[in-house]
Structure 1
């Protein structure tokens, strides 16, 4: 878990929350998520950014994802969530 943002679990939760909040603020639309789901969104965005960045060679092994990439990853996850929710 320390690889996500380069710190401990508390740091990961805090930065994940901030990344989730920014993603919700930057993506158009009304995304009603609780405190916990905002954290999950931010951490999930960081995981997505780290996976894509590692696959494309942007990050070396063991290097954490960048904050901006984490926010972009969270926006992508929000867009996927909105598309899935709209189909129902």
Structure 2
């Protein structure tokens, strides 16, 4: 059940991360949602393994936003480099 919540929160986190990352997103909503889910999963896995936070809480949510924003920035960098 925990990972289901991570998946659901990842959708929300992707949208929040998109607000912090201005610019046109070539993939639109779907790519943003996928990156949000991936960022949330990655942040959850790494944060829990390093004992930075528990299974829930505000710090966990903020870490998920950070993970999604990092993945979104990498995605923007990769799509800009390949299109030029």
TM-score by length of 2: 0.71
Displacement of 1:32: 4.1
Q: Structure 1, unaligned stretches of length 5 or more?
A: none
- Mean alpha-carbon deviation: is it higher for 31-40 or for 76-85? 31-40
**1:12 and 2:3 aligned:** no
**1:44 and 2:38 aligned:** yes
TM-score by length of 1: 0.69
Distance 1:35 1:83 in 2: 18
Q: Structure 2, unaligned stretches of length 5 or more?
A: none
Q: Which has the higher helix share?
A: 2
Q: Please report the RMSD computed on the Cα atoms of aligned residues, expressed in angstroms.
A: 2.5
The answer on whether the counterparts of 1:4 and 1:50 sit within 8 Å (CA) in structure 2 is no
1:86 to 69, 80, 84: 80
Residue 2 of structure 2 aligns with which residue?
A: 3
How many equivalent pairs are there? 80
